[in-house]
C-alpha cells in the first residue's frame, strides 16, 4: 500500500513537471499565426535573418569542402617558435 501511494506521488510530481515544461515552451501555434505576439514586420525580419544564417552556413560548408579555407589557422604565438616547442 505504501509503495503504491509513493508511486502515485512520484507520478503526480512527474506530470506536474511536464505540464510546467509545456507551459514554458508553447507549441508553434502560439508563436506563429493569428495568436502570434510578433508584428508582421518583425516576423518577416526574423524569417529573413534565419534564411540568411542558413545560407551563410551552407557557403561555409561549401568552402570547407572545396579546401579554400584552412581548417586550423596558422600558429601566431611566439611560443610556437621557441626551440624547445617541438619537444
| DSSP character string of the chain | -HHHHHHHHHHHHHHHHHHHHHHHS--HHHHSGGG-SS-HHHHHHHHHHHHHHHHHHHHHHHHHHHT-S-SSPPP--GGGGSTTTT-
Q: Is residue 57 included in any domain, yes or no? A: yes
Q: Which domain holds residue 1?
A: 1-30
CA distance 22 to 18: 6
Return per-residue pLDDT of the chain as tens, 87 residues. 888 888 888 888 888 887 776 666 566 655 666 666 677 788 888 889 999 999 999 999 988 888 765 556 566 677 777 777 776
- Total number of domains in the chain: 2
pTM equals 0.38
Q: Is residue 79 included in any domain, yes or no? A: no
41 and 17 share one domain: no
Q: Rg of the Cα trace of the chain?
A: 27
Amino acid at each position: 500500500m505504501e509503495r503504491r501511494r509513493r508511486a502515485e506521488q512520484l507520478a503526480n510530481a512527474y506530470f506536474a513537471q511536464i505540464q510546467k515544461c509545456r507551459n514554458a515552451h508553447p507549441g508553434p501555434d502560439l508563436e506563429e499565426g493569428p495568436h502570434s505576439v510578433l508584428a508582421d514586420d518583425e516576423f518577416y525580419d526574423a524569417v529573413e535573418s534565419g534564411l540568411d544564417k542558413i545560407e551563410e552556413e551552407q557557403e561555409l560548408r561549401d568552402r570547407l569542402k572545396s579546401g579554400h579555407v584552412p581548417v586550423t589557422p596558422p600558429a601566431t604565438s611566439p611560443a610556437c617558435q621557441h626551440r624547445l616547442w617541438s619537444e
